[in-house]
Amino acid sequence: MRENRVPHYQREFQKHDGLRTWEKARGKYLVPGFKVILFGSLSASMYMMGRLVLGHKTWFGKN
């Protein structure tokens, strides 16, 4: 016999505090952290693809 948590979650999610639903459910830092990782890896891949097109097989230098 567990307590009914529905009223607690209704108060939490229907509260008018200016936050979006995903911010209330998953925290404020999960989606921005995901975007940093996504765009960081995308930009690193594009940088290395550009270097490979120019004939450089390392991240830095002329080799």
Q: List b or e across 28-46, with b for residues whose CB sees 16 or more CB atoms inside 10 angstroms.
A: eeeeeeeeeeeeeeeeeee
pLDDT at 61: 84
In tens, the pLDDT along 1-59 reads 999 999 999 998 899 888 888 788 877 788 889 999 999 999 999 999 999 999 999 99
pLDDT at 6: 95
Cα–Cα–Cα angle for 46, 47, 48, rounded to 5 degrees: 90
pLDDT at 62: 77
pTM of the model: 0.60
CA 22, CA 54: separation in Å to the nearest integer?
A: 43
Burial of 56 (0-12, 13-18, 19+ CB in 10 A): middle
